[in-house]
Amino acid sequence: MVSPEPQCRPTTFGLARASLRHRLLLLVLLAVLPTVALILSTASEQRRQAVASAKEDALRLARLASSQHEHLIEGARSLLVGLAQLSDVQMHNSRACSALFAEVQLRFPLYKNVGAIRPDGHVFCTASSPAPGVGEAGERHFEQARATREFAVGDYRFDPVSGKPVLVVSYPAVDGAGDVWAVVFAELDLDWISQFARRAALPPGSMVTVMDGAGLILAAYPDSALVGKSVPQSPVVQAIRRQAGDGTLEAPGPDGAPRLYAFASLAGAGPAVSVAVGLPRHAALAETERLLARNLIWDGVVILLVIAASLVVSDLFILRRVGAVVRAARRLSAGDLSARASVRGRDEIAVMARTFNAMADGLQSRARDEREAREQLGERVNELDLLNQMGELLQSCFTLEEAYGVIGRLGPRLFPPEDGAVFALDSSQKTLEAVATWGTHPVGAAAFSADSCWAMRNGRTHVVQDSGSDVLCAHLPKPVPAAYLCTPLAPQGKALGVLFVMIDSEAEAPAHELTQAKQRLAEAVAGHLGLGLANVHLREVLRIQSFHDQLTGLFNRRYMEETLERETHRARRGGRPMSILMLDVDSFKQQNDVFGHEAGDAILRELGALLKASLRREDIPCRYGGEEFALVLPEASMEGAARRAEQIRQAVKGLRIPFNGRVLGPITVSIGVAAFPDHGPDGHAVLQAADAALYHAKRTGRDRISVATLHPTV
């Protein structure tokens, strides 16, 4: 008989083999579960962090928009302060100030309108509609500016011509007695919010809105059709009302689409006006979802490979090798992305280990990519902060030299690895001169012809990535840089200069290229610089105009009064003399009556030109009023001043002025002479003494010089 034992062994072996395989399969499943858990846990955390980061980025952008709006308000204030000083505004010269305001609006399209209002509330000059004569009485900005004598910000309103919302700001023109002569106003266009959103490079589906406290949409990007729509029940509006400041939430927007929103009060825009930035949730989670799907696919591949191996391999060696993979997976699940399974061979376990390592490499690579993406985002935010800072500083500059200093300090921070310079056009508009440089290598000649630069010729950015094969500008330094770009500074299309950024030929290979991000940054910097330099130049022009008499080109009385005390103090401190000449045209009224006021203006212009040509550089000629002139002569004694007065009197007698086919002349003048400290202890007293001497010369026959009598204390 055959023993049954041989029949039992295969069954027992098969059961044991099956059990081993089952246990191996169970061990394999247990080994991969931590990986799955890690992927899901990491994905959940990444989703939470992505949402929080998106809200944080949106809040930062909302605050940047608020800050930019504040700077725009401040820029408008600076412009209105300058315009309020103009004599045409103060004297209600409708035609002249309308032309000037039209030119200001042409230079700064951000302003929908610039105008001036009489104290009775009627507009007497404007760059565009409404036409002069339209009443502004009762408007908050007008009443506030007139009452406080200070800069005033009104409410948002919709422009009747364009239908777009504008913010009206005002500044009063006040005389020395504190009376309001006029109120200058400007309408600030909200279209800057769209430009801001485009520069921020928001993901598709994003929305930027400006809303008042009642839920009226004042500006919207990209859907401008929402402007003017009231959405008081919108969750975003409700959240703004509850928090009354900065905040974030996840809710449907005014168009009904759900987004991650952040909002901030719009600085300088009046009460309850806020800017809201909404980012689509799917955009914030896109990278996380893609990473989760990829990791799950890799994990599924690993599981399938391990199960296939477990069906063939059933010994302890396999289990130990699988254990190595499990241990690596546990380290990975604990957050150690450098964990790898050290298993050698070509069998399924080794393949599983390599697959696991590939998955770990993928996770580590994704983590590194996310870290680099965050760093790049941080760089972009830092660049926006620096651009914002540059705009603030340029708004505060009074002279072009100050503005050039700002550029020189911020250039190395905006372009830390690269060398660069800013070149500005000189007065001839044909030569570019270096006004700011940075870096460790020379950037070329300090001055060169504008035609030497391709960017100036073409009016757009000229980029060279390979100096060995591309077309080069003629102003480059030696040796020629490996790569460079030139970007013109051209606000409103008028060239002011060029921004030059280069990579030295000795730079490392990875830095041997100007990236698209770097090119966009250079163009953004050039745009800010051009606008800032144009603003500074305009302020300089307005300041010069405020101190000069337009008819004669001499300084006006206001400048003379401000300068007189300074020169008197300087003379007193240095123990040096100072003299004043008071000059009056004899029989000027008769000239006006006979030949007309235009002839009188011609006489005054020629007399102004003669005075400028007859004086030293340090002398201060002023039109004191009407046909009367005052000349402040630093370091001039009474005797020297009298001699110069006689020279001027003789030169005036020789004037022959052609006018309408006839010759005006001879012209005579009477001159009073006084000196410090001989004729007074201060500048005002000396001026009065010179004026008294002038009238003595007029009373004793005109066409002569009279020296003031000595001060009683002398």
Weakest mean pLDDT among 109-123, 427-441, 640-654: 427-441
Nearby residues of 386 by Cβ (< 8 Å), 6 or more positions away:
410, 413, 414
Read off the DSSP letter of residue 627. T
pLDDT one-digit tens code per residue, 413-453: 888 878 888 898 887 788 888 888 888 888 877 888 888 89
CATH, residue 563: 3.30.70.270
- pLDDT for 542: 64
Cα separation, 388 vs 376, in Å, equals: 18
pLDDT one-digit tens code per residue, 586-619: 888 887 877 888 888 888 888 888 888 888 888 8
Only one residue has tokens 């202890």, namely 681
pLDDT, averaged across the chain: 80
Nearby residues of 399 by Cβ (< 8 Å), 6 or more positions away:
536, 540
Residue 681, token pair as written in the block:
């202890």
478, part of any domain = yes
Residue 169 shares a structural domain with residue 212 = no
Residue 211 shares a structural domain with residue 318 = no
Q: Quick check: 120 and 237 in contact, CB under 8 A?
A: no
Residue 248 shares a structural domain with residue 220 = yes
pLDDT at 546 over 70: no
With vertex at residue 127, the alpha carbon angle to CA 122 and CA 130, rounded to the nearest 5 degrees, is 45
Paired strand residues for 582:
630, 672
Paired strand residues for 420:
438, 501
C-alpha atoms less than 13 angstroms from C-alpha of 58 in its C-beta half-sphere = 30
Only one residue has tokens 């809303």, namely 211
The residue from 189, 213, 233 where one domain ends is 189
Paired strand residues for 258:
252
2, part of any domain = no
pLDDT at 390 over 60: yes
Q: How confident is the model at residue 134 (pLDDT cuts 50, 70, 90)?
A: very low
The residue from 159, 189, 219 where one domain ends is 189
Residue 173 shares a structural domain with residue 214 = no
Residue 443 shares a structural domain with residue 568 = no
The stretches of 583-671 forming alpha helices (DSSP H) are 588-595, 597-614, 638-653
Q: Quick check: 145 and 132 in contact, CB under 8 A?
A: no
Number of folded domains in the chain? 5
Centre a 10 Å sphere on the Cβ of residue 462 and count the other Cβ atoms it contains.
Answer: 21
Read off the DSSP letter of residue 665. -
CATH, residue 457: 3.30.450.40
In 3D, which of 686, 683, 619, 677 has the Cα closest to residue 647? 619
Cα separation, 598 vs 193, in Å, equals: 50
Q: Please give the C-alpha separations between residue 190 and each of 210, 293, 675, in angstroms, as whole numbers.
A: 9, 43, 58
474, part of any domain = yes
Residue 312 shares a structural domain with residue 264 = no
| Residue 291: strand, helix, or coil | helix
Amino acid at 47: R
pLDDT at 362 over 80: yes
Q: Quick check: 690 and 674 in contact, CB under 8 A?
A: yes
The full length of the chain comes to 714
Cα separation, 204 vs 222, in Å, equals: 10
690, part of any domain = yes
Q: Quick check: 669 and 624 in contact, CB under 8 A?
A: no
In 3D, which of 485, 494, 516, 666 has the Cα closest to residue 587? 666
Q: Quick check: 171 and 81 in contact, CB under 8 A?
A: yes
Q: How confident is the model at residue 673 (pLDDT cuts 50, 70, 90)?
A: very high
Q: Look at strands 180-189 and 165-174 and give their pairing.
A: antiparallel
Amino acid at 586: D
Residue 404 shares a structural domain with residue 392 = no
First to last CA, the chain: 158
Cα separation, 348 vs 313, in Å, equals: 8
pLDDT at 674 over 90: yes
CATH, residue 137: 3.30.450.20
Paired strand residues for 629:
583, 623
Residue 698 shares a structural domain with residue 562 = yes
Q: Quick check: 640 and 615 in contact, CB under 8 A?
A: no
| Residue 95: strand, helix, or coil | helix
Residue 450 shares a structural domain with residue 590 = no
Q: How confident is the model over 247-256, as a mean pLDDT? A: 86
Omega cis (within 30) before 204: no
Cα separation, 165 vs 230, in Å, equals: 13
In 3D, which of 180, 182, 176, 178 has the Cα closest to residue 92? 182
Percent of the chain surpassing pLDDT 90: 7
Exposed, middle or buried: residue 308 (CB in 10 Å: 0-12, 13-18, 19+)?
middle
Q: Which residue has the higher pLDDT, 380 or 363?
A: 363
4, part of any domain = no
Q: Look at strands 247-252 and 165-174 and give their pairing.
A: unpaired
Q: Please give the C-alpha separations between residue 185 and each of 136, 169, 174, 335, 602, in angstroms, as whole numbers.
A: 10, 5, 14, 61, 35
Q: Please give the C-alpha separations between residue 24 and each of 318, 319, 322, 357, 426, in angstroms, as whole numbers.
A: 9, 7, 9, 21, 83
In 3D, which of 256, 288, 411 has the Cα closest to residue 39? 288
For 281, list phi and psi in degrees, rounded to 5.
-65, -35
Residue 363 shares a structural domain with residue 497 = no
The residue from 544, 569, 590 where one domain ends is 544
Cα separation, 638 vs 706, in Å, equals: 11
pLDDT at 136 over 80: no
Which helix (H) or strand (E) element contains residue 123? strand 123-126
Exposed, middle or buried: residue 419 (CB in 10 Å: 0-12, 13-18, 19+)?
buried
- pLDDT for 451: 87
655, part of any domain = yes
Cα separation, 223 vs 228, in Å, equals: 12
Q: How confident is the model at residue 714 (pLDDT cuts 50, 70, 90)?
A: very low
- pLDDT for 73: 83
Residue 392 shares a structural domain with residue 421 = no
Enclosing domain of residue 623: 557-707
Exposed, middle or buried: residue 375 (CB in 10 Å: 0-12, 13-18, 19+)?
exposed
In 3D, which of 74, 71, 151, 76 has the Cα closest to residue 112? 76
Centre a 10 Å sphere on the Cβ of residue 699 and count the other Cβ atoms it contains.
Answer: 10
660, part of any domain = yes
Residue 215, token pair as written in the block:
């839920």
- pLDDT for 672: 93
Cα separation, 532 vs 78, in Å, equals: 13
Residue 475 shares a structural domain with residue 390 = no
Q: How confident is the model at residue 13 (pLDDT cuts 50, 70, 90)?
A: very low
C-alpha atoms less than 13 angstroms from C-alpha of 43 in its C-beta half-sphere = 17
- pLDDT for 20: 43
Q: How confident is the model at residue 275 (pLDDT cuts 50, 70, 90)?
A: confident
H helices then E strands: how many in the chain?
A: 17, 23
pLDDT at 692 over 90: yes
112, part of any domain = yes
